């Protein structure tokens, strides 16, 4: 925490380095590494060649041949994040393989032990999380800013489109984070004009994020997403295919359950919920619990940032108490921008999960299998119900116009 001559309360409204938030890319990892030194380059080599290895049915054999490595020589946060990303990809590929139901329920110790030790060190679970596949899985392809992902699953460019659009939504919303200290100080000093301007700026960033989100249709095919990519993002919690979880050989004696990567693991929207006083806990119990659980899948620095926001002054109560129509309108616009993002997310889930699930069921599956598949997000929840609950709770935060 910064220690200056300001009051203790005021000094906490800085976005310190300890929160791992970058001025340009927000919660994303700035300029991730692409390579690891020997002997960890063996992990990178397999992770880079996943689609080909899976197609030739060589993936599991290659993973089983890997030497057991200590993580002690993985120096620095960026090296550790790259290793966590690579091991996450390898783990998902090892478990799901061709995605045709041939599932491995045991992760061999030569991967499980370093993966779990590294996860413990980073404070992340030993499964591919949003902080890996979106926030740390990117590079600039050329100086003009074109981007690519570091690792791919089968399914062609579907993963690239999905992860990069998710990242670009993060980046569009990231410029709003620097408004947060301004907002807290404005509330503290009862400075309505500054607060109103900052709320307008945040609304603009959230609207930009929605515009970016629209691009998903150009890059991600619903059939490829539902039939291929989604399989590799699925976890082993709330998943009937791995109902007992995954056994991490040499680490635990019993299988463990972890949720797959999910947009609910993004810190950015939880951050604006907290700032605007959107009480997700007022919604359905299961949705609130899921959001709290998904915080534990975020990097600890980002969890700490969300906690620090929760101890800040209530923006909503201040706006309510001032009775200033234009300030109230600026606050409401901000909440409406969050509602719009959540409404759009519901449309995306309908297009990329619900409709393809129906189409698949018509061909070859029983109604029971359909409803199971149709309703489950990669995080293991009933995704439509969850998103509707979150949107409803966001709408409730709107201040009634007199």
What is residue 65's three-state secondary structure?
A: helix
- What is the DSSP secondary-structure string of 75-119? -SHHHHHHHHHHHHHHHHHHHHTTSSS----EE-HHHHHHHHHHH
Tell how strand 106-107 and strand 247-248 pair up.
parallel
Tokens matching residue 312: 């800040």
Among residues 52, 356, 371, which one has the least CA distance to residue 224?
Answer: 356
Distance CA 111, CA 132 (A): 17
Q: What's the N-to-C CA distance of the chain in angstroms?
A: 41
CB proximity list for 162: less than 8 A, separation 6 or greater:
216, 219, 220, 225, 229
Distance CA 32, CA 73 (A): 18
Distance CA 287, CA 278 (A): 13
Phi, psi of 360 (to 5 degrees): -65, -40
What is residue 298's three-state secondary structure?
A: coil
Tokens matching residue 281: 């806990």
**Which residue's entry shows tokens 């616009």?**
333
> Was 345 annotated as part of a binding site?
yes
DSSP state of 12: T
Tell how strand 139-140 and strand 147-148 pair up.
antiparallel
Phi, psi of 185 (to 5 degrees): -65, -40
Distance CA 19, CA 303 (A): 8
Phi, psi of 71 (to 5 degrees): -95, 5
Tokens matching residue 300: 């600890």
Cβ burial, residue 235 (10 Å; 0-12/13-18/19+): buried
Tokens matching residue 298: 């975020």
Per the annotation, binding residues are 345
Per the annotation, binding residues for heme b are 345
């Amino acid at each position: 925490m910064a220690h200056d001559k300001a009051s203790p309360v005021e000094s906490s409204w800085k976005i310190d380095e300890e929160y791992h938030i970058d001025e340009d890319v927000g919660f994303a990892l700035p300029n991730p590494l692409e390579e690891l030194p020997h002997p960890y380059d063996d992990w990178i080599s397999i992770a880079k060649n996943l689609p080909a290895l899976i197609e030739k049915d060589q993936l599991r054999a290659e993973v089983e041949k890997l030497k057991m490595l200590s993580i002690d020589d993985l120096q620095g946060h960026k090296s550790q994040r790259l290793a966590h990303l690579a091991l996450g990809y390898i783990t998902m590929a090892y478990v799901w393989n061709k995605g045709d139901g041939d599932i491995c329920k045991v992760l061999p110790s030569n991967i499980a032990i370093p993966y779990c030790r590294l996860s413990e060190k980073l404070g992340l679970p030993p499964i591919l999380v949003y902080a890996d596949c979106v926030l740390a899985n990117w590079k600039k392809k050329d100086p003009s800013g074109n981007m690519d992902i570091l690792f791919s699953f089968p399914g062609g460019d579907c993963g690239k489109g999905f992860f990069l659009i998710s990242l670009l939504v993060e980046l569009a919303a990231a410029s709003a984070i620097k408004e947060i200290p301004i907002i807290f100080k404005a509330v503290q000093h009862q400075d309505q004009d500054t607060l109103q301007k900052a709320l307008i700026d945040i609304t603009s960033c959230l609207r930009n994020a929605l515009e970016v989100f629209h691009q998903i249709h150009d890059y991600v095919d619903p059939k490829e997403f539902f039939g291929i990519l989604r399989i590799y993002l699925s976890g082993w919690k709330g998943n009937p295919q791995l109902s007992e979880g995954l056994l991490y050989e040499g680490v635990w004696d019993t299988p463990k359950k972890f949720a797959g990567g999910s947009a609910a693991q993004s810190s950015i929207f939880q951050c604006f919920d907290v700032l605007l006083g959107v009480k997700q806990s007022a919604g359905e119990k299961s949705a609130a619990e899921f959001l709290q659980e998904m915080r534990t899948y975020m990097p600890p620095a980002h969890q700490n940032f969300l906690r620090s926001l929760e101890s800040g002054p209530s923006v909503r109560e201040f706006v309510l108490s001032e009775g200033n129509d234009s300030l109230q309108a600026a606050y409401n616009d901000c909440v409406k921008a969050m509602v719009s993002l959540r409404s759009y997310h519901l449309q995306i889930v309908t297009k990329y999960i619900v409709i393809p699930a129906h189409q698949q069921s018509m061909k070859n599956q029983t109604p029971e299998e359909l409803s199971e598949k149709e309703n489950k997000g990669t995080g293991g929840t009933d995704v439509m119900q969850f998103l509707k609950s979150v949107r409803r709770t966001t709408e409730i935060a709107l201040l009634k116009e007199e």
